[in-house]
Structures are given as C-alpha cells and as structure tokens.
Structure 1
Amino acid sequence: MMIIGLQGRPESPNVGDLIEFSRVIYSHWAVYVGDGYVIHLTKNKNKPNKGEVKRDRLLYVAGCFRYKVNNILDYKYERKEIELILQDANSALGKNVTYNLVTHNCEHFATNLRYGKPESLQVKKVLYSALAIGSVTLLLIYLKIFIF
C-alpha cells in the first residue's frame, strides 16, 4: 500500500503509524494496524457525545479523500512499543466511549494510542486562532472607546 508522505514521496505505513485523512474542514485520524487496516474513533450518530472505536480498511476510511502517514508528535513524545499500541487499540475495539470535538476526538484517540498522550493539534490551532481573533476584537473595541 502506498501513501503520499509529508514530503510528497510515496511511503508505506508501518504498524503504529498515525494516518491523517484530509477532509474538507478537518482531518480524521487513525492508527495503522497492518494488512491495510486502521483503528479509529468515529462519532456515534445515534448517541450524542458518544463515539465508537472501529477497525476498518484504510481505503474505506479514506473514501475519496487524501491521506498520509503523519506521526505528528514524534518530535515531542516517544512512541509506545508496537505491541502495546496494538494491544490498546484492539482492546478498545467496539467500545462506546466519550466523544467530544474539543477534548476527546479521533486525533486525541489516535495520539493516545501511539504516544500515551491524548492531544489534538487541530483543536489547539482552532482555539489559538479564536483566542487571537477575540483579543484583536477586544483591542479594537478598546481603541474605539478610549482612543478615538
């Protein structure tokens, strides 16, 4: 299986790699578990604030969207042992777990499997952007009220 990597070169995923699936507004995340399969957290459409851990074919999850190996936090954390990643991923299969877009989404789930640290850089990016916009807005209001 070929995946286009971060530098635009073809690469094959290794067991334990994080796979980022580009969507229109966000990215979906999964962990590659071998033989063309990934394990990922999906939102349960019937139960609010619940997600289900699934094992699906990588190409099925990708659909018509692009995907790549993106071990996004390797610079920051050490990867867990492959056996432990697989054990944790397989033990989570089929479970209904809490799903929250900000605090417990598919990226949190995938990074927790790989590093033992649930983290979502795309959520942080959105929150930092919102904070920056809010700060600029407050500054402009302040300037309008007190300066002009």
Structure 2
Amino acid sequence: MAPTLFDHGAKPGDLIEIFRGTYEHWAVYIGGNEVVHLIPPSDDSSPFGSLLMLLDSSRVQVRRQKIWEVVGGHRFEINNLLDHKYEPRDRHVIVREACRTVSSAQPYNAVTHNCEHFVTEIRYGKSESRQPGQVVQSRFTQDHVIDMLCVLNLLFLYLRGDQFDF
C-alpha cells in the first residue's frame, strides 16, 4: 500500500525516489509535506517523448511543491542512496540549500545533470546518478549504445527540421 499524507515517514533532508515507469524522478524532502525538485523539461511521458528528453539538453526550473503534487499516483520511497558512500550534510543545511535553489534555472540533461544529480548534490555535496549507467549496463553493450545514439541523434535532427545531405 502506498504511504499516505500522514505516514510517509520522511524527515527533512531525505531523498524521495518516485517510480514513474521508464525512469525515476527524485526530490528532496524539506518538511511540512513539501519537496524541492526539478521540473522535467517535457511533460510528454510517452517512450518517444522520454527519448527526445534524453537527447535534448535544456534548462529546467527548481520548484517547491507539496509531496503529493509531485508523486501523484506513482509509488515512491525514501532513498538516501549514497549514505553508505558519503556523509550526508546536516539536515538543516540540506533544507537551506534546497530552498535556496527554488525558482532558479538549472541545466538539464538526462545523462549528465538529471534530477538525481540535483538531489545528491544537495544532500551530499556530490553530484551522482545511477540511472544512465543502469540503463547501459542492463540493456545494451557499449557498442550497441553508441550505434543507437548515433541513429537517434539523426532521427532527432530530422524531426527538429534540420536539413542535411547523406
């Protein structure tokens, strides 16, 4: 059963992992049933929309919202994933840093600067993400990934309307 408004158990400074099917979204819990997170660059949750998001670097905004607005109907859990590797900052420092970023524009790239990078930087002072590596390790060899990215880049350029000759 999914946690309810009154029993999610998060403490200020905890990382919240939200399972959205093909990817996980991340937020920092700041107390008062609120989180700070990156607004994804696309609301298109289709596989093709997610693929375009992966290929297109852009800027996003940091938003402060009620946890339930961000989680919606998805499953989520508290996941302070790097506590075994790094010492987390003090909770009040995590909350202060998260709140300082609200309304700021941030770079976004699903591989190099995604929402998991954002929250781990705030909690640990180290920007890390397991998601890009997990996709590569679990589904493809390195050669297949390079081939696929080349083809997808051409497809993206074509769909964007770029003109080029072969």
Normalising by structure 2, we get a TM-score of: 0.70
CA contact (8 A) 1:43 1:50 kept: no
How many residues are paired up? 127
CA contact (8 A) 1:37 1:55 kept: yes
Q: Displacement of 1:130 after TM fit? A: 5.4
CA contact (8 A) 1:29 1:107 kept: yes
Runs of 4 or more above 3 Å deviation: 44-48, 129-135
With 52-61 and 40-49 compared, the bigger mean Cα shift is at: 40-49
Q: Displacement of 1:63 after TM fit? A: 0.5
Q: Does 1:17 align with 2:48?
A: no
Residue 7 of structure 2, aligned match among 2, 9, 19: 2
CA contact (8 A) 2:120 2:127 kept: yes
Q: Does 1:39 align with 2:36?
A: yes
What are the ranges of 5 or more consecutive residues in structure 1 without an aligned counterpart?
4-11, 136-148
- 1:78 aligned partner, one-letter code: E
Q: Find the aligned partners of 1:33 and 1:85 in 2 and give their Cα distance.
A: 8
Written as runs of structure 1 = structure 2, the 5 A alignment for 1:1-148 is 1-3=6-8, 12-45=9-42, 49-129=58-138, 132=141, 134=143
Higher strand share: 1
CA contact (8 A) 2:117 2:128 kept: yes
Q: Find the aligned partners of 2:70 and 2:33 in 1 and give their Cα distance.
A: 11
Q: Find the aligned partners of 2:109 and 2:16 in 1 and give their Cα distance.
A: 20
Identity %: 39
Q: Find the aligned partners of 1:28 and 1:72 in 2 and give their Cα distance.
A: 14
